[in-house]
Amino acid sequence: MHTFEIRDQFMLDGEPFRILSGSIHYFRVHPSDWHHSLYNLKAMGFNTVETYVPWNLHEPRPGEFNFEGICDLTRFLDEAAELGLWIIVRPSPFICAEWEWGGLPAWLLADRSLRPRSRDPKFLARVASYYDALMPLLVERQVTHGGNILMMQVENEYGSYCEDKEYLRSIRDLMLERGVDVPLCTSDGPWRGCLRAGTLIDDDVFVTGNFGSRAGENFAQLKAFHEEHGKRWPLMCMEFWDGWFNRWGENVITRDAQDLADSVRELLELGGSINLYMFHGGTNFGFMNGCSARHTHDLHQVTSYDYDAPLNEEGNPTEKWYKLRDVVRDLFPDAWTAEPLIKDAVALEGVALKERAGLFENLDRLAEPVSSLYPQPMEDMGQSYGYTLYRSSIERDTLEPERIRVVDGRDRAQVFVNGELVATQYQEHIGEDIRYALPQENNQLDVLVENMGRVNYGHKFLADTQHKGIRTGVAVDLHFILGWEAYCLPMDDVAKIDYSAGWSEGTPSFSRFEFTLDEPADTYLDTTGFGKGVAFVNGVNVGRYWEIGPISTLYVPHGLTRAGANELVLFETEGRVGDTISLRSEPLIRHLDKEGVE
């Protein structure tokens, strides 16, 4: 049994302790690679791993909990314990993390009277139910119970969102009532406004700051806030940003390795504790990428969460890893360090197409239509992620081009008449006039809407734009069209596709490839030549691709491949297809100019 206390220093088993931690999100790393990443953290000389816990993965539908596979949190914690690593767990309902809707489950949006991240009793009841399932897994792994969890977080950067202390206390109490007895903490921007709004310092909940440079200046602000409230706590940066995330159509953001090493050295020489965000960023598998909120044009994040971290997306050490190990060896000569584990990735050129099938030709196999008078947002139909195909019919009233408008939709709409694409609209352009001469007296109207990811931070967190699909309706001329069938397409089972059903050029389609490996291996799918969509390897959604870049590959971990034949399916929305595809041994990153052109 161990002890961990927060006095004027961190005290582990009664001795002063410096937290040298790195973030690894188990849900962004395939379980077959957890040991690889955790070992490399330990080998760099660090002693602690930190992870968020994403509510939306663990409770994908109300009352249905998942703690298996990539969601097997306890296995991840136990693997860390076997390596002798301590753990900081951040199980707050909201995690930000550039993750879809900050980790909150999208089914909460179906109840418009419920206000997330607030003292709303209905929201707190949902959190309580979730914690009933989650907390028993964590409680028995606390240091106070013989485990390795040192500390847990109450909420995440709440001072950048609101100042509801009753809500914060409610979340804290839900944790305490379920047996959490290790120290609790919050993390916020280190300036007074954020700290005042987002902390429970007067309730003795430990306060940390988030920043990525100027440790002296930021620690001074944090210390002043501590002292203002009569605290002499140790100084800790809970998120020391060693890189940054990336968004579609923008260049990859990097940070100089020596600059990072010098900044970390400064923090450690000041006596601070650190959690590197990220140590291993990993991948936003499936539809789990988040979105940066902007006034009009929100910016969706890419599938790769490489983050320019000390371990790259694949989990191998970068220059930053070696420079940080040098810092540890210099400042903490007694720390255990070692050489890192390194994996290889395979490359295959010209993997041939096996067969192709159209989305329209497979609708009835992929979904049961939902009938309604007006089109409904996806959440109201029990759907959280992916695509929704809305179908109705429109009568021709004139031989002149008609005016068609998708009114109040999110995030990206493709409009088809009789199976022909007539317009693609994205975010703020949805609702603009589409002029099209209807070719027949009665015409089939299809609108394919993609949820590209909900915002994970900022003022739009509860905006109506987080309800995806068509929220108001579709108008032709000046009137709304009635009588709709909606096909919910979460793309959770591509095995249903009938490749003998046919395909029409220029329409959304599924392309199936097969590649053969001697043994399971990492690789990168090169989506050059395709337009926009998602990829599935042996039935698992490995994430979105988009020709606008900056990254033109999708990482596939060896845990998703197998010796022998492997199936690759691309769902392509733009009608941009190829008869071959290649696998690379490293990512393909393009440099874009200010207009997003390579």
> What does the alpha-carbon distance between residue 189 and residue 212 come to, in Å, rounded to a whole number?
11
Q: Is the CB of residue 413 less than 8 Å from the CB of residue 521? A: no
Tokens of residue 10, six digits: 């961190």
Tokens of residue 5, six digits: 């206390």
Task: List Cβ neighbours of 492 (8 Å cut-off, separation of 6 or more).
Answer: 386, 541
Which of 117-125's residues contact partners 24+ apart within 8 Å by CB, and which partners?
117/93, 117/155, 117/158, 117/161, 117/162, 117/167, 117/461, 117/462, 118/162, 118/164, 118/167, 119/164, 119/166, 119/167, 119/170, 124/167, 124/170, 124/171, 124/174
Q: Is the CB of residue 389 less than 8 Å from the CB of residue 474? A: no
Q: Whose CA is closest to 278, among 88, 95, 41, 23? A: 23
How many degrees, rounded to 5, is the angle at CA 137 between CA 154 and CA 172?
20
What letter represents residue 427's amino acid?
Q
Task: List Cβ neighbours of 142 (8 Å cut-off, separation of 6 or more).
Answer: 149, 180, 181, 182
Kindly calculate the radius of gyration of the chain based on its CA atoms and give it in whole angstroms: 25
Q: Whose CA is closest to 244, among 302, 294, 297? A: 302
Active site residues: 157, 239
In angstroms, the Cα distances linking 19 to 55, 151, 203, 507, 535 are 26, 11, 23, 54, 39
Q: 10 Å Cβ neighbour count for 95?
A: 26
